[in-house]
Amino acid sequence: MRCLKCRDKASVEMRRHNAAYCAPHYVDFFRSHVLRNIKSKKMFGHSEKILVAVSGGKDSLGLWDVLTHLGYKTTGLYIDLGIGEYSVRSREKSEAFADSIGGKLVVKDVREAYGEDEMGITELSKALRRAPCSGCGLTKRYVTNQVAHELGFDVLATGHNLDDETATLMGNVLHWQMGYLARQSPVLESTHVRLARKVKPLYTFTERESLSYVLIRGIDYIEEECPNAHGALSILYKEALNTIENQSPGAKSSFLMGFLDRAKPLIEAAEDVELAECIQCGEPTTAELCAFCRMWDRAKSARRLNRGKI
Amino acid sequence: MRVVLRNPRRREIQIAGNRQVLAILEELGLNPETVVVVQGGALLTRDAYVADDSSIEVISAISGGM
Ligand code: SF4
Ligand SMILES: [Zn+2]
Ligand SMILES: [Zn+2]
């Protein structure tokens, strides 16, 4: 296979585009398509302050690298979830990458900011007796919103790729989660003064394309998975979708783009919600007490109760 | 050839002969959409040939959780 631009030996092929590129031309292609996504979806401009949520993984570090090269004003945000050695190592990777690009990285430790007695995601899920990922997802959304607001960022960018988005879509469709479907989007405009606009500039790239960029750029990302990801449904959905993709190139992309263009507008119209402020923390919510406060309060009292018994 | 699987745990296996990337992945039961194959720092496309006396790494692209 040959590079579409220079006819050299290709490094990365994209069957759904009928294209392949050598390493340097792939980097150009990747960056110019990220820029195209940003512009066509009006994600942000060069004057806006962008907070990039980084996990130490390939997608978020790759995204930060691209945005830096495109000349955007970025700051990284790493949330230390307190998930054992995994959090230690992913934090190190994030800090090392920030240093390598001369970027500023804000680190928020969940154990210091919200929990008590060194209570991180692991302790939270034990106290609540529920799977870590549900509490973790809610916590990450809450913390990123809060930091973005406190530090005055206009935009919050995450590294979600096409595989993440189609797996989420599949999960939401399998259970007809209309509220989630109404909000799944590469750009979520701010619906409240305390909510930053949320954007996903990599939403058109497959996971393989995202990894290819990171490997060519020599970015040192954390390869190991969070120990709680084992057996996650999202991985099952990704495998199923990739089985289809392999037989029918472009299937993932048409699943997501078709949803965004044709189905989502209909669902959106039916699912309009009013936002109020949480009576405890002031963050936007549809209830009196926000879901984050409810969850952490419940975990803290469950933990105190358990300790009393011992 | 020597094949190092990083998925993300490392595992090493031997495969005989000069083979095309696609055939190697098929033999390993891997979907080419979900991995990147690297040889000495260069990424290989699925039609590339790998010589019997060389070594490659197969890196998983799929990450989990939310
Ligand atoms: S896999 Fe689950 S627990 Fe681990 S970081 Fe992702 S959402 Fe959190
Ligand atoms: Zn080229
Ligand atoms: Zn609250």
Q: What is the pLDDT of residue A295?
A: 93
Cis peptide before A24 (omega within 30 of 0): no
Give pLDDT tens digits for A212-232: 999 999 999 999 989 988 878
**Residue A104: φ, ψ to 5°:** -90, 135
Count of CB contacts below 8 A, A vs B? 86
How far apart CA B8 and CA B36 sit, in angstroms, is 12
Is A219 in CB contact (< 8 Å) with chain B? no
Q: What is the pLDDT of residue A205?
A: 98
Q: Do B31 and A242 touch (CB under 8 A)?
A: yes
Ligand 1 atom with least separation from CA of A229:
1
Query: Looking at CA atoms only, how far is residue A211 from chain B in angstroms?
Result: 6
| Ligand 1, pocket-test mutation among A55, A121, A144, A295, most atoms within 8 A of CB | A121
Q: Do A246 and B45 touch (CB under 8 A)?
A: no
Q: Where are the beta strands (DSSP E) in chain A?
A: 12-14, 19-21, 49-54, 73-80, 105-109, 155-157, 187-188, 197-199, 276-277, 284-285
Write out residues with Cβ below 6 Å of ligand 1: A 83, 121, 132-133, 136-137, 226, 228-229; B 65-66
Residue B44 maps to a domain:
yes
Name residue A193's amino acid.
Answer: V
**Among the listed residues A111, A310, A303, A96, the one whose alpha carbon sits nearest the alpha carbon of residue A220:** A96
Name residue A72's amino acid.
Answer: Y
Residues of chain B found within 8 Å of residue A226, distances taken between Cβ atoms: 64-65
For residue B65, is pLDDT > 70?
A: no
| Ligand 1, pocket-test mutation among A86, A224, A226, most atoms within 8 A of CB | A226
Query: Looking at CA atoms only, how far is residue B31 from chain A in angstroms?
Result: 7
Ligand 1 atom with least separation from CA of A121:
3
Question: Can you list the residues of chain A whose pLDDT is less than 70?
Answer: 309-310
Give pLDDT tens digits for A157-204: 999 999 999 999 999 999 999 989 999 999 999 988 899 999 999 999
Number of H helices, E strands in chain B: 1, 7
Residue B26 maps to a domain:
yes
Model pTM score: 0.93
Ligand 1 atom with least separation from CA of A55:
5
**CATH H superfamily, domain A24-217+231-274:** HUPs (3.40.50.620)
Ligand 1 atom with least separation from CA of A227:
4
Q: What is the pLDDT of residue A287?
A: 87
**Residue bearing the CA closest to ligand 1, atom 7:** A133
Average pLDDT over residues B38-42: 95
Residue B65 maps to a domain:
no
Domain count of the fold of chain B: 1
Of the bound ligands, which one is closest to the alpha carbon of residue A1? 2
Average pLDDT over residues B8-30: 94
Residue B39 maps to a domain:
yes
Residue B23 maps to a domain:
yes
Residues of chain A found within 8 Å of residue B35, distances taken between Cβ atoms: 208
Q: What is the pLDDT of residue A203?
A: 98
What is the domain extent for residue B15? 2-60
Q: Do B61 and A208 touch (CB under 8 A)?
A: yes
Domain CATH number, residue B51: 3.10.20.30
How far apart CA A1 and CA A21 sit, in angstroms, is 9
Ligand 2 centroid distance, CA of A80 (Å) = 40
Closest residue of chain A to B26, computed from CA coordinates:
A246
Q: What is the pLDDT of residue A309?
A: 60
How far apart CA A225 and CA A203 sit, in angstroms, is 21
How far apart CA A187 and CA A166 sit, in angstroms, is 15
CB A127 within 8 A of CB A299: yes
How far apart CA B4 and CA B40 sit, in angstroms, is 12
Q: What is the pLDDT of residue B66?
A: 47
Residue B45 maps to a domain:
yes
How far apart CA B47 and CA A13 sit, in angstroms, is 10
Residue B27 maps to a domain:
yes
